[in-house]
Every structure is written in C-alpha cells, then in structure tokens.
Amino acid sequence: MTNPTTTLPASATTHLLHATLQDRITGSLIGSALGDAIGLYTEFMTAATAATAYPTGKFTLGGSGNHAAHTPPTPFKLDAHRAPKLPGDWTDDTDHALLVLLAFLHTARTGGTRAPGGGAPGGADGRELHPPPPMPTQQALAARLRVWVSQGFRPLDTMPLGLGRLVGTVVASAGFDADPERVAREYWEKTGRRVAPNGSLMRTHPLGLVCLFREEEEAFEVAAALSRVTHFDPRCVLACVAGTGLVRALARGEVVVEGDVDAVVKRGLEWFQGTGDGGELDIEELWKHVGPESGLEKLNLDEQAAIGYVYKTLGSGVVLLRMAIRRLAASKNGLLDRTFLFEQLITDLIMRGGDADTNACFAGALLGAYLGYYALPDHWKHGLKYQEWLLEKSVALCQVLGVGDGDYDGAEHKDTDPLAGKPAISQDEMEGRWMVLQQATFRKMEDAAKGSSSKASGSSWSFLFKKEKGSGGTAR
C-alpha cells in the first residue's frame, strides 16, 4: 500500500507534523496542570473519604470568557488544606514544573537556522546558525526554588502553598545555591538513605518536551541532574529519567503499543545503571509499580504511611497510559473515545485519594502528550485559572523547538526571569501576604461552618500552608 504522506507536498507534511507536535506539547503542559487542579479535590483523602465527599464522582472547573460553563465549578470539600485555593487553581506541583520550563525559556533564542538538537529542521539559507538553547543547570533550578520558597511563584504572584519537608529543608540549607546536589545527597544520607518522595518527579515533564529533538540519553542525563537538585535517592532519580523519557517519546509519537512503554522504561533503567548510580535499586520493586500487571488497585494510593512514595506517582502515570492505549486499541470509534479518555482516567485516579494532585499531575502530562490538547475536556481546561498564560508559554516552547510560527527571545519575556522582572518581595511583605491569606481562609471556613449543623471548633483545623506528603520517610 502506498504511504499516503508521500503524495503530499513537503510543505503540507511539515505543516501537519508541526500541528501534531504543537497539540502534544500543549496537551502535556495543560494536561499536567489539569491533573494537578483536579487532584486537589481529593488530595490527602482516603478513597472512602473521597467517595463520601464527592458522591457523584464528577468534577467541573467551569469556564471563563467565551468558554463560560453552564454550571459553576464543583466546590471543594472545604477544609484548611483546600480553603486557601479556588477551583481551577493548580498547586506547587505545577509551579515547580514551570520553574524548569521558565529556566529553559529564559535563555532560549531563535531567529536563525537551528544547529543539530536545537529543534525541528528548517531555516532559510544564509541565516545565522544558533546553537541549541542550553539546558537548565542545577544552579539555575536551585535559584528559582529559593525564590519560590521565599516569595512564591513570581510570574503570577501566587503564594508558595504546599512546601514539603524535604524540599523545604534542602532549599534552606547552607550551600544549596552553589552545590545543590551535595546538599541533597547529605540530606538523603542524614535521613538514612530511605527518603524517596515524589517532589522531583512532579516537575520533570517539561524536560521531555524541551528534549524533543535531542538524543534520548541527553534527556535522561538532564532529568537525573535536576532530580538531584533536591531528591538524591536513586528511586527518585530513576523515576525522573523514566518519566522524562516517556513524555519525550509520547510527544514524538514513538509510543503506539504497550511494549513501547516498557521499552522506554527499560532504556532509562539501563542508562541509569550504566552510570553506576543505580546499584542499590530493587528492580522488582520498580516493575511492581510500572509493569503491565500493575493497576490502580495494586498501587494502594491512599496508603497513609507512603502516599508520597515516588513509585506510586510514577506507577499512576504509567498505569493510566496503559489503560488509555488498551481502550483506544479496543475502541470502535477511537476519535470519539479520545475526547472522553482524559477525564475518565484522571477522575478514576484522583478518586483513589492519596497524593492525588501529584499523581494526576504526572499522569496528566503523559496522557496529555499522548492524546493532545484538543482531546482534553473543555469544561476542565477552560476553567483552569491561568490557562491563557500557560498557553503563551506553550507557544513560546513550540517556537523555540521550531514547530511553531514566529521567533522567540527569552530576554524579551521578563516573566521568565527568576523574579519575573519584578522587585524582590521582602520578608515583612510576605508575612503580610500570609496574614491576608490566613484571614481570608479563616472567613471562608467560618462562613462554611455557619451553614453546617455541626460547626467545627476553633481547634479542629489549622492552616496547613506548609504540607508534608505522607510520613515514614516519604514527605516530598
């Protein structure tokens, strides 16, 4: 049979390729933020509690502007953890992923023919040859994490809600700016080499997109390096290697059947072991979470002593990806079914409770890269609070990678700067912002209590602005 693409003009083939890649890149970025925002509904709950809190198992984020929904957003089951947020907000998971993306975009520049690895082939003859944009360094990410911890997410000036024990301790340690990997390693050793939370995996997916046209081993290498900025445990590093490899392969269209998923994980594992850093890994433990026999029930996601375990999050994403591949393979109307898959699978995942926002953030990145932006549910994506801003960053990334129209110069985009082109916020000013948020949260809780027949006492809740994911060595 003749390959239909051979009958198309080269320009048409290129246009179709670029459109597909744009859809997958945007799908991954928006999909991860959606998973994060939807996962917040059930974060830290058990599956039983989630079922009681949301008996319909249905969620909507509503919409805004031209995409206004007919129904308002699903309200949170109000407690001190969710009260500081609004439906459609993402959490620290997406903030940290965006720190990685912005670090890349800040130093990126187009405008000439791209050197190998810089993006999709193209460029006019005689134009200046630009090298591929540099990868974010450990020090660059460390500096941005320092800003986030002390001042919040500066591009949108949102508060640093959700700071976990591991990240908070490591980032605050002396020497973190200059040598974050050393500080992370010392913390890991000091805590008995047993801490393997999901805080670096939740931020890794942009690297799979950034490395779209780079060699797979380079993607593995940068993922490992940026994991070790805070998370040194080999399980955390391997999870970031595998997660980055999967996002990259999905966006490139290299994952078609389940065997392709296994192949990416195996290559990541082999690469990691080849570096000499994976000697302590329990390989059976890895495949128990990500192998073809795994499933959401087996992951036991609301296991309270280990909800933040990195393999639970990695497994959540891989299991949902396998489910999507299987359903589309068995579908008689794959085009229609694609538009329902993301919502169905993410909802199933977050109703299992546990570290639901992080699990769904990573799973959303994989599913979004696999299904594309246009398969994401409208009543979710158009209710995402900062979707327009995030779409702008997706457009910028597509331009840098050479699959979007127009040129890009990170120096002209002040919001990619570590401080987003704004003055630093003083400690006193941050204290004032915390006080305002606390008062607003208190009023929200008080108003909710007035409508309840069982008004909570003042000591029944506290402002969990700094949360810890799990216990027993799994807090991120």
Q: What is the pLDDT of residues 241-257, one digit of tens each?
A: 999 999 999 999 999 99
Domains and CATH numbers, the chain: 37-55+88-109+132-447 (1.10.4080.10)
Sorting pLDDT into bands at 50, 70 and 90, what band is 123?
very low
For 300-324, what is each residue's pLDDT tens digit?
999 999 999 999 999 999 999 999 9
Binding residue numbers: 91-93, 355, 357-358
3-state DSSP assignment of residue 21: helix
Residue 456 has pLDDT above 80, yes or no: no
Sorting pLDDT into bands at 50, 70 and 90, what band is 124?
very low
Alpha carbon distance 151, 426 (integer Å): 8
Exposed/middle/buried for residue 10 (C-beta within 10 Å: 0-12, 13-18, 19+): exposed
Of 113-127, 190-204, 263-277, 362-376, the poorest mean pLDDT is in: 113-127
**What average pLDDT does the segment 453-457 reach?**
43
Residue 335 has pLDDT above 90, yes or no: no
Binding residue numbers for Mg(2+): 91-93, 355, 357-358
Alpha carbon distance 360, 363 (integer Å): 5
Alpha carbon distance 202, 361 (integer Å): 7
For 412, list phi and psi in degrees, rounded to 5: -90, -5
Say if residues 425 and 153 touch (Cβ distance below 8 Å): no
> DSSP character for 470?
-
Q: Indicate the pairing of strand 113-114 with strand 129-130.
A: parallel
Average pLDDT value over all residues in the chain: 91
Residue of 165 and 71 predicted with greater confidence: 165
pLDDT at position 277, please?
84
pLDDT at position 448, please?
83
